[in-house]
Amino acid sequence: MISLKVKPGRTARWFGRARLKAKPAVLPRLKRQFIVISLSLITVILAAALSIIYYTFRNQQISQTQLVLDEVIENGTSSKVPLSPSNSEEEVNIPTLFVEISGGKVYAIGSDFNVDDQSAVQTLVQAALDQGKTEGTLSDYKLRFLLRYYNDAHVRIAFADQTHEISSMRTLSRNLLLGGGFMWLTFLLISFFLASWALKPVERTWQQQKQFIEDASHELKTPLTVMVADLSLIRQQPDSTVATQEHWLDSMDQSTRSMTALINNLLTLARLEQPELKLDLLPLDLSRLLTEVCLNLEAMAFEADKPLKTDIREPLWIRGDRTQLTTLFGTLIENAVKYGQPGQDILVRLFPLEEHEVQVQVRNWGQVIEPEQMKHVFDRFYRVDAAREHEAGGFGLGLSIAQRIAGLHRTAIQVNSSQATGTIFSVSFERCAPLKKNLIAVL
């Protein structure tokens, strides 16, 4: 009888990857929210800044006019005053009118206006007195006044033209609106750019997560399909003995083991990616650790007709997590065994790279990894040769786990591959001082 096993096809895998290029519906909404929030903050800040400029300049204009009115009250005449405190070279002459009330009579003492009608002066004086304040404005006449009492029968009032003040404020308002509008539009464009830039990692993470789920589902689907087919065949022969169904049971056992290995790898990768994960970074003899890993895998390499050779200098110490580093080096060596050519040796080296660094290299003489493939070597579920690795029992997660462990040790795995040198995976660590002998004995 023929076993109905299903192998994962590249067509389904790459179709899944192509289908994931579509952006999730949530990203445009996040982009809009980002733009709205950023523009709201910018609008508030911009409005506050423009308001401060406006009221500062307005108070400055009022202060200038007040200086003129004070001088007129004291001296009866005014001199030119600076247009702005920061630029004393520019001066402006503000037209004024000085009126003195004595014994109930109004006297126009000095005026820069053409005041021929005494009743007009009386009207201005009465309007100022009716406000009941010592200073203020007469909006109907565009005048600012200052009133000072010397005694009940002696009052002095100074009027100053607001034309220059009003004109300056209108010019300022127009410039602030134009400038503020231009800045707001500029910030709008910047917000669009920043929203797209800020959401790129989110989009990339979402795509990776989506791809991860689909790839994991695809890998789990294969053994489950095999198990369903095997169970169906067993049920078709209810009177058969266990011995006669051994082939199908072996197939189910293999599928179960495959799913268990995949799930364990997924759980390992999930634990390694937890933000709160902390490793036990302790001083350890890397030479001894790497030798132990090679001894444990020597039989596997021998059975695959790929002799495992070592060039390990000792003693070389680093700070690291013994368990995680055992997984890292074991993964690199197992990967070399899977991809190495039969009859060709696998070389594991450990040597000082610099005064404060050491480097581990794992070399095999397998298929050369092309530059385009090199970019994806550490991607989850990626296989340089998918059919070959699947037959060997791999899922494309080992190197992802190894690279994550390297990252937790603040380093990274580098790959070089060519016909002349073979494929070399290398990882460097900072050296540390060795433990004293008595402490080693305690450990």
Match 């179709």 to its residue by tokens.
15
Which uninterrupted H or E stretch holds 47?
helix 26-75
Reduce the DSSP state of residue 100 to 3 states and report it.
strand
Task: Return the structure tokens found at 99.
Answer: 């009126």
Looking at residue 231, what is its pLDDT?
Answer: 84
Sign of the CA dihedral running 363, 365, 369, 371 = positive
Burial 285-310 (b: 16+ CB within 10 A, else e): bbbebbbebbeebbeebeeeebebee
Q: Report residue 377's pLDDT band, with 50, 70 and 90 as the boundaries.
A: confident
Does the residue 100 lie in any domain? no
How many structural domains does the chain have?
A: 1
pTM above 0.75, yes or no: no
Does the residue 37 lie in any domain? no
Does the residue 371 lie in any domain? yes
Interatomic CA distance for residues 132 and 98, integer angstroms: 18
CA 41 from chain centre, in angstroms, equals 19
The full 3-state SS of 145-204, as one line of letters, equals EEEEEEECCEEEEEEEECHHHHHHHHHHHHHHHHHHHHHHHHHHHHHHHHHHHHHHHHHH
pLDDT 10s digits, 321-346:
998 999 999 999 999 998 888 999 99
Query: To the nearest whole number, what is the mean pLDDT of the chain?
Result: 80
Does the residue 148 lie in any domain? no
pLDDT 10s digits, 246-299:
888 888 887 787 777 777 777 777 777 776 677 778 999 999 999 999 999 999
Domain hosting residue 338, numbered range: 282-442
CA angle 294, 298, 302 (to 5 degrees): 150
Does the residue 131 lie in any domain? no
Which CATH number covers residue 357?
A: 3.30.565.10
Cβ 312 vs Cβ 350: under 8 Å: yes
How far lies 257's CA from each of 5, 223, 251, 254, 261, in Å? 15, 9, 10, 5, 6
Sign of the CA dihedral running 326, 328, 334, 336 = negative
Q: Report residue 9's pLDDT band, with 50, 70 and 90 as the boundaries.
A: very low
From 142, 133, 148, 147, select the one nearest 160 (Cα to Cα): 142
Does the residue 432 lie in any domain? yes
Does the residue 203 lie in any domain? no
Match 């890397």 to its residue by tokens.
286
Look at residue 55 and tell me whether its pLDDT is greater than 70.
Answer: yes
Does the residue 184 lie in any domain? no
pLDDT 10s digits, 108-158:
777 777 666 678 888 888 888 888 888 889 988 889 999 888 876 788 889
Interatomic CA distance for residues 356 and 185, integer angstroms: 53
From 408, 403, 161, 172, select the one nearest 274 (Cα to Cα): 408
How far lies 261's CA from each of 132, 219, 434, in Å? 93, 11, 36
